[in-house]
Amino acid sequence: MASIMIQGTASSSGKSTLCTALCRIFKEDGYSVFPFKSQNMSSKSYVMEEGLEMGTAQALQAIAAGLKPDPKMNPILLKPTGEKNSQVFIKGKLYKGMDAVEYSQFKNTLKPMIQETFNEVESLHDIVVIEGAGSPAEINLKQNDIVNMGMAEMADAPVLIVGDIDRGGVFASLYGTVMLLDEDERRRVKGLVVNKFRGDVSLLKPGLDMLEKLLNIPVAGVIPYTHLELEDEDTLVDYDKECNNTVQEEEKKEEEIDKLAEVVRQNVDLKFIYSLFKR
């Protein structure tokens, strides 16, 4: 039983995509794998037959893992109802509406539930793929964090940080994210991943080498920019997709997940990732 956590330099950096790919890859390699995101904020949700709601990204990751969507994959869902207010769902059920300050004070009481839920799913599966939210370098929110480094500590999980090079500034964002972490948090970061790269990787290599030297953390992969017809949870989308506007057939969804997994297999050092489980 092991876990790995994917965090990002910002929203839409590639956390959900990489988690989906790893769920499919680990499944293909013969492991029982379970996706997990302790807290997800999204105006979109996946509604289960029994009426429970969870993040759409974790529902997609469930399909990648060969599982039925389960509210334990996303024990806390926040659905915004305004600039400062959200509906709070706990294990799929609507708890109540809260404003940002109220929830900030309330969320720390949810840590035991998150820990218990994680321990349960970890005990039943070979690998848990954990997704963070936003960025772990949001230093104003770190004190009571339950979704980035706070979650990594609860799970005692190694962390990969992914950055989006297509939006620019990936070296600064990766370096800045790591350097804003506390020293014990930095020790959890085992690898970096550059996402959405266009061009020849050889031209990127001098920057990667310098980044590795500055941070003493290896770059575990450079994922090329790839058009994927997989539903976006985030509003920061790069291109129009049919699947965001129409219901996608399950067969097509499976094909796209397989396509994503193959791209990641070819461009991320999976031998290195598997070595992180030998702790």
pTM of the model: 0.93
Residue 57 near residue 64 (C-beta atoms within 8 A): no
- Report all structural domains of the chain as residue ranges with CATH numbers, in order of start: 2-275 (3.40.50.300)
Residue 7 near residue 159 (C-beta atoms within 8 A): yes
- 115 vs 108: CA distance, rounded Å: 12
CA distances from 273 to 3, 114, 250, 254, 268 (A): 11, 25, 29, 24, 9
Give residue 279's pLDDT: 55
Provide the residue-wise pLDDT of the chain in tens; the chain has 279 residues: 799 999 999 998 999 999 999 999 999 999 999 999 999 999 889 999 899 999 999 999 999 999 999 999 999 999 999 889 999 999 999 999 999 999 999 999 999 999 999 999 999 999 999 999 999 999 988 888 999 999 999 999 999 999 999 989 999 999 999 999 999 999 999 999 999 999 999 999 999 999 999 999 999 999 999 989 787 766 555 555 565 556 667 888 899 999 999 999 999 999 999 999 965
Give residue 237's pLDDT: 54
